[in-house]
Amino acid sequence: MDEENQPPQPNPERKSLDDRAKMTDLERLRHSCAHVLATAILKIWPEAQFAAGPPVENGFYYDVELSHRISPEDFPKIEAEMKAITKANQPFEKVVVTREQALKDAQNGRLAAVADRQVPSKFKLDIVQNIPENEPISYFKNGDFIDLCAGPHVMRTGNIGAFKLTSVAAAYYKGDEKGPQLQRIYGTAFKNKTALDEYFKMLEEAKRRDHRKIGAEMGLFAIDTEFVGPGMPLWLPKGTVLVEELEKLAKETEFAAGYVRVRTPHLAKEKMYKTSGHLPYYAESMFPKMEMDEHRADRKDIEQRIAELEKQLSDHAKKDGSPASGNP
């Protein structure tokens, strides 16, 4: 595919100053917890290289490059360090710096770190280099940890009442599959333990009411993860009636509103998903790229076989004296 014709992709992790100003209290708290997470990880693995650590729908994450593969078994150890940091109730201090200072500190490995290091803070260096000329550059400090960040945060680490690390996933720097692969550590945080407990109880309830579970129990569909795939229901008679009735209703409603229908293929080339903006954001939850027939070796075999048959046909026709045509 012609990559050079692609428009530059937005960095999904880069928030504008306007977006930042709109962060809710809970988002501030959760993003602050990402700083605490990074501080804790550095206590255990000082060489960790951090990329972006934004709040997300139900919590926060921080992307980290680290040779040690972090697994949920590491969570209690990391959470214990985090607990010590929130208990210490360190203030989050904002420091505005010049671009030169930021570049120097990034080179010295001092950004997203608790001290100078032997190697540059490479992702932070890249981020500094991409901050627009007119935008101020700031750090946020808690204890010895300094991060390049525009904020906002809570006042002190102690304002993060309750938190929990939830999962770890693979991610690419700036969502670019050709870029460095990082470990995305997810967590969530709340004002207090009651709110945290309620959240996990709600998740349990949601699991109990999961449509995949209920639909299967009601005999609407079956899901065969081994032979078909997860999220690909096989509609049984009762479920099919529902699907068709819904389709009928949708069509009637659309026609009544003056819409006309079109049909499109279910699949398209990678370029379309890049243009639509899905690929940079949802690559993790999308099906991987499909090898097209035209690239496959067996396609060549088929073409070769067709050529052989055509030759045989032509030779045969010559012998017979009849025209060599595929249409007798």
Catalog residues that contact Zn ion under the rule CB under 5 A: 149
- Rounded Cα distance between 281 and 145, Å, is 29
- Shortest reach from residue 139's CB to Zn ion, in Å: 9
- Shortest reach from residue 87's CB to Zn ion, in Å: 20
Answer whether 216's CB lies under 8 Å from 230's CB: no
- Shortest reach from residue 153's CB to Zn ion, in Å: 6
- Rounded Cα distance between 236 and 217, Å, is 12
Q: What is the DSSP string of 255-292?
A: HHTT-------S---HHHHHHTTHHHHHGGGSPPPPPP
Q: Pick between residue 64 and residue 149 the one whose CB is nearest to Zn ion.
A: 149
Q: Pick between residue 145 and residue 173 the one whose CB is nearest to Zn ion.
A: 145
Q: Nearest CA to 34 among 74, 71, 85, 76?
A: 85
Q: Pick between residue 137 and residue 149 the one whose CB is nearest to Zn ion.
A: 149
- Shortest reach from residue 128's CB to Zn ion, in Å: 14
Q: Pick between residue 149 and residue 171 the one whose CB is nearest to Zn ion.
A: 149
Q: Pick between residue 37 and residue 279 the one whose CB is nearest to Zn ion.
A: 37
- Shortest reach from residue 76's CB to Zn ion, in Å: 25
- Rounded Cα distance between 225 and 275, Å, is 31
Q: Pick between residue 138 and residue 314 the one whose CB is nearest to Zn ion.
A: 138
- Rounded Cα distance between 82 and 304, Å, is 64
Amino acid found at 278: H
Q: Pick between residue 49 and residue 279 the one whose CB is nearest to Zn ion.
A: 49
- Shortest reach from residue 122's CB to Zn ion, in Å: 19
Answer whether 171's CB lies under 8 Å from 182's CB: yes
Answer whether 59's CB lies under 8 Å from 86's CB: no
- Rounded Cα distance between 77 and 83, Å, is 10
Number of other residues whose CB lies within 10 A of the CB of residue 128: 21
Closest chain position to Zn ion (CB)? 149
- Shortest reach from residue 55's CB to Zn ion, in Å: 10
